[in-house]
Amino acid sequence: MRQFTKFKANLEYDDKFIYSYGTAVAEINSFLNQFTRMEWDVEGKTASPTTTKHINYAASELNLKEFYPFELACEHWILKPQSMQVSVQINDGYGGTKNSTDYKDISRSFYVVGQRQHLRDYFRYMMKNHAWQLRDSFDEPLTKSMEKIYNDGEYSKNSDGSNCAIITSNEL
């Protein structure tokens, strides 16, 4: 366990958690530089101004942003480039044509709307079961039309059980 310069006696952390008075109060995701507040109960108390102060101080010192798992969000996922072989006819140089093979770009990009935790879980599922690889991913502003598609349930439940709407640019 490591300590901070302030609150040495009552605030500690390790690679996975922030501890206030020995109780784990926040989970750390150092890969994403994020933390998630945890539910805790010590002798009937489930919240305290001191614990809040501890978490906020630790997050600031460790340069962590808070992750809100149930917040509705939109991410733009850009998959790594993909191509497929296609038959083409090319000029043979003698006034005729001949068959050849070329590659067609079939790279995909789409928006995924859902609760932040569902977005994370869905991506893990797609990575594990379908070897998805992202070239890039970033937050997008959640538009009214995206929110409507999500709220109206105009999408099928994903095979991992999460409720994320996959939206292509054509649907907006």
Residue 155 has pLDDT above 80, yes or no: no
Confidence band for 161, pLDDT divided at 50, 70 and 90:
low
Distance of CA 150 to the CA centre of its chain: 17
What's the Cα-to-Cα distance from 148 to each of 113, 114, 120, 129, 159, rounded to whole Å?
A: 10, 12, 21, 29, 22
Which one, of 109, 34, 134, 115, lies nearest residue 69 by Cα? 115
pLDDT at 170: 66
Q: What is the pTM of this model?
A: 0.59
Q: For residue 115, which phi and psi values (nearest 5 degrees)?
A: -70, 145
147 has a pLDDT exceeding 60: yes
For residues 8 and 168, which has the higher predicted lDDT (pLDDT)? 8
* Mean per-residue pLDDT, 86-107: 86
Average pLDDT, the chain: 85
Question: Which sign, positive or negative, has the C-alpha torsion 11, 45, 72, 159?
Answer: positive
What long-range pairs does 83-91 form, CB within 8 A, spacing at least 24? 83/107
- State mean pLDDT over 92-111: 85
Residue 160 has pLDDT above 60, yes or no: no
Taking residues 146-153, report their average pLDDT. Answer: 83
pLDDT, one tens digit per residue, over 62-79 is 999 999 888 899 988 888
